Structure 1
Amino acid sequence: MSPRRRRATVLAAATVLCAAAAPVAAAAPSGTAAAGPVPAVKPAKLPAGLYGDADPKYDGVWRQSMALLALDGAGAVPAKKAVDWLTDQQCADGSFTAYRADPSDDCDPDTTPGDTNATALAVQALAAVGGRGKEVREAVDWLVSVQNKDGGWGMASRSPSDANSTSVVIGALHAAGKKPAETTAEGGANPYDALLAFQLTCGSKGIEEAPGQQGAFAYQPDKKGRLAPNNDATAAATLAALGKGTLVEPVAKDAKSKPVTPLKCASGTPSGDEGERDGDGGGDSNDGKEQGVPGGRKAAAGAGAAYLAATLEKNDGHFSTVQPGAKKPQPDYANTADAVIALAADGHRTEARASLKWLADNLDDWDKAKNDPSALSSLMLASRATGGSPTELGGTDLLARLVATGPKPAHMPDSDDSSEKKDDGGTIPVWAFIIVGLAVGAGFGILLSGRRKRQQL
């Protein structure tokens, strides 16, 4: 920013300061479908504002958004260039792709189609750090424009809806201040209608192949319309059914843990939040209540949480996955962290903390927990959601590891604004407000003094 533009910005901000008596900052904090596999290849040159040094071709926007969410959740103010990098990735139509190597080039729908998952998580991140309302609105408008008739979303524009994509978009709508239940497609279907259609209930197709899996969510139905339990989809959909996004409010330290209660298929009703129908903070008849579990989306979330808790408990507090070519299952750290967030969001503090402890005890075994922005961010967000520290886990400083992968934040949660917060061109120094404020105040004094003298003449 040129000196002239910076002076103009300071003067404008001083006017706001005098009018509202409130500090101003450019990026002050407020407030899943998994990205594709990331090759362990470091490109020759990476953008200065990006977190992580792996090839961003498949996950650039996703991992940057996760980093910004984790920083905001930890009380840090991201560097302006980190936020700018993300907004520069936005296409003219409001969408985001997985990664644009040259943001100056126009987005080509054939080679760089809009990605609903990247767009939705970018919305959540930009809404959290604040100051990017235009970009958030344009991204949300694009998401709404590509909503499927069933009320949901697929990963690509107009592709068949899936639980993960629909979930991350619900989180984006919530973060942007929109009510998902009122975001209806042609025909009247809303996102919760689509989401709850992926849940295995007592009469779901495929439940005979998955006995005891009621409450779980499938990623998508197969060609015969049958549903298969999916841990990733269940964690994402449980959180979304609550109307929440990735950055959830921490569980209160004195809050009692809400018991988990599996879906009771004998009576066809869940025990727990039965009858509670809440579209978005109040009674709402359009919350997906006709799909699956009686009692609406919050009851569906309770059933999903019960499945998550039971599955985690059976496996010593974590999920497992079988990697291609592997002879035995391997720990699934990422989806375990997602499940912790979902359980905590639904009030199941005991179960969430049990799995968080497993993550802490096995942190050194997860190679991605060393320097992968998405992994580090998910752990920080999981710890925060349970009421724990948003910066460390099991004695490991996760915030320091995340910061080491990208731009140093404009402000760290444990730093002193007056001595450590650096001006990188995106914020206005506190002293500037003081000086300009004094100057404006002196001007008002002189003006009033002159007015009194004129009245005395």
Structure 2
Amino acid sequence: MRHESSIKVLGTEVRRGTAVRGPARTVTATAALTVLLGLGSVPVALADGSPAPSASPSQAIPTGLYGSDDPAEDGVRRQSLTLLALSTAGEKPPAEAVRWLVDQQCDNGAWAAYRADPYAKCDATTPVDPGSTAVAVQALAWLGRHDTEIERAVDWLKDVQHEDGGWGDDAGGASDAGSTSAVIGALAAVGADPADQKRHGNSPYDLLGTLSVPCQEKGAGAFAQRPDKKGGLVPDAEATAAGVLGSLGKGYVVGAWMAGDKADGCRSDSGGREAVAHNGVRRLTEATAENGCLTSALSGSGGRPDHGATADAVVALAAAGATDATSKPLAWLKKNHGSWAAEAGPAAYARLILAAHATWTDPHDFGGTDLVEQLAATGPATDVDYFPTPDGNTSAGEEGQAEDDSGFGWSGKWLLARLGVFAAISLFVFFVWDRKRDRS
């Protein structure tokens, strides 16, 4: 005999007792209640007890992630930059966006560019990389209240440092300027001195020094991502912006607090990281002096403009105190960012917001564009009235998220409350159904 009944939960009718015919299986009322209560992380069960199939990562963008493009290559990086940018603009990132980033972390503390199944254990084949890990650390350090995740990540970064003092775009790859500078920013964000982080006597600053083009060579002051096959240094726009920021010991969030580098003359490499940073500032200043933008070859004219590198250059110049040198590239970005940012997505808007933050520019009116609104529109809704301080703590207005004396935050209490309601309704459904069955 087939029993069929229905109950209404929160105004939604849940039918029970539907017959199972072949592959067409029905979702249990408990699973339906899970969805109604917002417990999306609880696995949905089918009537026969097997898990319901989930959408393939290639078919749908994961909930909480910003952007609609395939996250395989840059999911963690674009999410981290987005969280940083929104926070600097006074927006409170939604909890699901932060949770997405946290869930991507492996047990050993590292992040990959993206993991389609964040609940699967990481193993030796998981492509974790220092660059993604470093930018995630910077984002979580700025947001605060993620000490455990940060500590594990920093320990992993220290463990995989190369003998030359740097890090590469994967744990075993050759050291490069971008990854090494990102790790420097991560160490600085957690209050560590990158100069003290050495392997075989080499610090990350030593590695960056080997990637700076010497004064006597063409492109003096620029950085290469890594030496070419012949050991030569090919100037690269993004590497130079990153190299300057790293040599200054700074992360992605900076402010032009003081007048500094005038970029006068190339200094000997024997001057240490300060000289290396100065020479990089000089090169960025020269490269943007004519048209305001960078190209991959670090030329001020000709070639295809590199919007992202130009935004990064503004941040680097501001970090060095070369405020006068930021005016041209900033003006160029205001005029030319539109189609590039719209096509490139969250990371592009985030880099522009960080450039605006570094130069005391209003990100809500960047050449007539509200960058914050455009970035927020690429992901879940944000909460306003969130004003982080430079050390990553938050000001008044966030009491609802603070932890109490028990160490269990309000978000955790809310989850427990939802689980309690879920359990109570599940028991109610069970007893109602059981009594109806007995009367049949």
Q: TM class, shorter-chain normalised? A: 0.7 to 0.9
Distance 2:363 2:145 in 1: 23
Displacement after TM superposition at 1:419 (Å): 11
Answer yes or no: is 1:217 the counterpart of 2:230: no
Q: Which residue of 1 aligns with 2:40?
A: none
CA contact (8 A) 2:64 2:380 kept: yes
Q: Which residue of 2 aligns with 1:79?
A: 94
Q: Which residue of 2 aligns with 1:353?
A: 327
Distance 1:45 1:365 in 2: 25
Q: Higher mean Cα deviation, 390-399 or 51-60?
A: 390-399
Unpaired runs of 5+ residues, structure 2, are 1-56, 388-394, 415-440
- After superposition, the C-alpha distances for 1:145-201 in whole angstroms (9 at most, x for unaligned) are 00000110111112211111111111111112111000111x211111111110111
Q: Which residue of 1 aligns with 2:382?
A: 409
Distance 1:57 1:370 in 2: 17
CA separation of 1:258/1:195 partners in 2, compared to 1, >3 Å: closer, same or farther? Answer: closer
Q: Which residue of 2 aligns with 1:298?
A: 274
**Normalising by the residue count of structure 1, what TM-score does the alignment of the two structures yield?**
0.70
Which structure carries more relative contact order (alpha carbon 8 Å, separation 6+)? Answer: 1
- After superposition, the C-alpha distances for 1:286-327 in whole angstroms (9 at most, x for unaligned) are xxxxxx61322122111100001101113x0001249xxxxx
Displacement after TM superposition at 1:363 (Å): 2.2
CA separation of 1:104/1:262 partners in 2, compared to 1, >3 Å: closer, same or farther? Answer: same
Match of 2:292 among 305, 317, 325: 317
| Secondary structure of residue in 2 paired with 1:396 | coil
Q: What is the number of equivalent residue pairs in this alignment?
A: 340
Letter in 2 for 1:251: A
Letter in 2 for 1:261: D
CA contact (8 A) 1:392 1:399 kept: no
- After superposition, the C-alpha distances for 1:328-372 in whole angstroms (9 at most, x for unaligned) are 832210000000100010011111122111000112242x34671
Displacement after TM superposition at 1:418 (Å): 11
Unpaired runs of 5+ residues, structure 1, are 1-41, 264-269, 271-291, 323-327, 433-457
Displacement after TM superposition at 1:43 (Å): 4.4
5 Å matches for 1:276-291?
Answer: none
CA contact (8 A) 1:73 1:390 kept: no
Displacement after TM superposition at 1:232 (Å): 1.1
Q: Which residue of 2 aligns with 1:372?
A: 345
Displacement after TM superposition at 1:420 (Å): 12
Q: Which residue of 2 aligns with 1:251?
A: 256
CA contact (8 A) 1:123 1:172 kept: yes
Answer yes or no: is 1:171 the counterpart of 2:185: yes
CA separation of 1:45/1:261 partners in 2, compared to 1, >3 Å: closer, same or farther? Answer: same
Letter in 2 for 1:61: V
> RMSD between aligned alpha carbons?
2.7
Distance 1:321 1:52 in 2: 25
Distance 1:136 1:410 in 2: 24
CA contact (8 A) 1:174 1:243 kept: yes
Match of 1:228 among 213, 227, 234: 234
Structure whose CA Rg is larger: 2
Distance 2:234 2:247 in 1: 18
Distance 1:153 1:298 in 2: 20
CA contact (8 A) 2:213 2:233 kept: yes
- After superposition, the C-alpha distances for 1:403-432 in whole angstroms (9 at most, x for unaligned) are 111122233459xx9999998x99749xx9
Displacement after TM superposition at 1:391 (Å): 3.9
CA contact (8 A) 1:52 1:371 kept: no
Match of 1:159 among 173, 178, 196: 173
Answer yes or no: is 1:241 the counterpart of 2:250: no
- After superposition, the C-alpha distances for 1:80-99 in whole angstroms (9 at most, x for unaligned) are 11111001000111100010
Q: Which residue of 1 aligns with 2:197?
A: 183
Distance 2:296 2:243 in 1: 19
CA contact (8 A) 2:166 2:176 kept: yes
Letter in 2 for 1:201: P
Match of 1:262 among 262, 265, 268: 265
| Secondary structure of residue in 1 paired with 2:269 | coil
**Normalising by the residue count of structure 2, what TM-score does the alignment of the two structures yield?**
0.72
Displacement after TM superposition at 1:258 (Å): 4.3
CA separation of 1:233/1:72 partners in 2, compared to 1, >3 Å: closer, same or farther? Answer: same
CA contact (8 A) 1:77 1:129 kept: no
Letter in 2 for 1:381: L
Q: Which residue of 2 aligns with 1:65?
A: 80
Distance 1:55 1:179 in 2: 36
CA separation of 1:354/1:406 partners in 2, compared to 1, >3 Å: closer, same or farther? Answer: same
CA contact (8 A) 2:263 2:282 kept: yes
Match of 2:355 among 378, 382, 395: 382
Post-superposition, which runs of at least 4 consecutive aligned residues in structure 1 deviate over 3 A?
255-258, 417-423, 425-429
Match of 2:113 among 90, 93, 98: 98
